[in-house]
Amino acid sequence: MVPHSRPAHVTDRARRRRAMWCSAGIVSALLLSGCGASVEEDGSGAPKKSVTNCGQTTSYPSPGKAVAYDVSAIEKMFSLGLADRMRGIVLPKTVSSVIDKSPYRDDYQKVETISDSVLSQESLVSASADWVFAGWQAGFSEERGVTPDSLAKVGINAYMQNETCYNYKSDTSDPEPIDATIQDLKDLGTIFDVQDRADALVSDLEQRRKKLAEDPRPEDQSRVFVYDSGTSEPYTAGKRTATNSVVELAGARSVTSDVDARWDTVGWESVVTADPQAIVVVDYNKQPVEDKIDYLKNESPIKDSPAVREDNIYVMDYGEAVAGPRNIEAAEKLSEYLRERGLR
């Protein structure tokens, strides 16, 4: 199966949104406030942003040399037109294929990639970053010695993706992944003095999300298996992933929605027992998507499932699968696919 091409209206939508921001103007910093953020002034009179993130409240000036790690954080910033406020991005080479399919590919080209590996404190200090946006464990990591606390000691502020806050320090929040993205966008609006842009984007996403949620769906929802990779054990989406939320919004049920994790491995037996009616294959350049599909069809333990027999295999780009501004569009497209296949 060939990955679906991105329709022209997606790029047009991004361009229209940028034009809307330009005409809206910039809201006064003294008026900026959000659910998890507020504005104050430091001793010099420059506004400082106070943000409550993963249970921790911090205050700092609006960043001018921001760095974002991986597609999720990067595209949240790009979606608010913040490329010119960024010192660089850290984009692992295993997922760099997202650039060609992204509506933000021009921004990817404009912003320097300071590393194509994991997030490291050394690369951030070397780049003279003043603020870093990443998730916990995959980005910030105690094992690799790069955490919000370690960065604070060298004068670099940090913001963590709300989706990854669960069990971080004393934080007890358990946000639904798309709700977490909405909060990230609102906080970014305050931090970077672009709350007008954030409000416009959030309003658009919420309206489309509401429409998806209200669309008629069968009482017995179709069973969908999300396949990232793996042969001895499949690597898949747990209930704490945006992909799980995307499947639900599309009118179906992920067969691994009971896995209390983000991305994790599971046993094939549970997937075989679930008897999936459709498979979502996550596409990025670590492994050709054609090889994944060939394995599913010819060698995997679910090669005799209804999903494979009926060729109900849908390819989803990595940039749509991870938490970010493209999740709603991903749900819209998956919903239409399921409808075409008689699965909703």
In the block, tokens 């509506």 appear at 103
Asked whether residue 147 is domain-assigned, the answer is: yes
Boundary of a domain, candidates 181, 209, 237: 209
Do 197 and 233 share a domain, yes or no? no
| Token pair 């990232």: residue | 228
Helix (H, G, I), strand (E, B) or coil at 324: coil
Q: Are residues 172 and 276 in the same domain?
A: no
Read off φ and ψ for residue 223, nearest 5 degrees.
-95, 120
Q: Do both 244 and 170 map to the same domain?
A: no
Q: Is residue 2 part of a domain?
A: no
Owner of token pair 């296949």 = 341
Q: Is residue 1 part of a domain?
A: no
CATH number, residue 43: 3.40.50.1980
- Looking at the fold, whether 94 and 173 belong to one and the same domain comes out as yes
What is the per-residue pLDDT for 45?
Answer: 57
pLDDT of residue 11: 44
Question: 111 and 236, same structural domain?
Answer: no
> Furthest-apart CA pair in the chain: how many Å?
68
Residue 15 to residue 65: CA distance in whole angstroms: 24
- List the structure tokens of 198: 């954030």
Show Cβ contacts of residue 321 under 8 Å, excluding neighbours closer than 6 positions.
Answer: 226, 237, 241, 242, 243, 246, 280, 282, 330
Residue where a domain stops, chosen among 209, 241, 274: 209
Q: Are residues 142 and 243 in the same domain?
A: no
> Do 271 and 127 belong to one domain?
no
> Total structural domains in the chain?
2
Q: What parts of the chain have a pLDDT lower than 50? A: 1-12, 14-16, 18-20, 22-35
**Cα–Cα distance, 148 to 152 (Å, whole number):** 6
Residue 51 lies inside a defined structural domain of this protein = yes
Dig out the tokens for 341 from the structure: 């296949």
pTM equals: 0.86
| Number of Cβ within a 10 Å radius of residue 42 | 11
φ, ψ (nearest 5 deg) of residue 222: -65, 145
* 252 in the same domain as 177: no
227 lies in the same domain as 326 = yes
In a domain, 40, yes or no: yes
State which of 209, 237, 254 marks the end of a domain. 209
Q: Which residue has the tokens 């069968």?
A: 218
- Judge if 237 and 183 occupy the same domain: no
DSSP code for 62? P
Q: Are 198 and 185 in contact (CB under 8 A)?
A: yes
Residues 6+ apart with CB under 8 A from 28: none
Query: Are residue 76 and residue 131 in the same domain, yes or no?
Result: yes
Domain that holds residue 81: 8-209
Q: Are both 132 and 187 inside the same structural domain?
A: yes
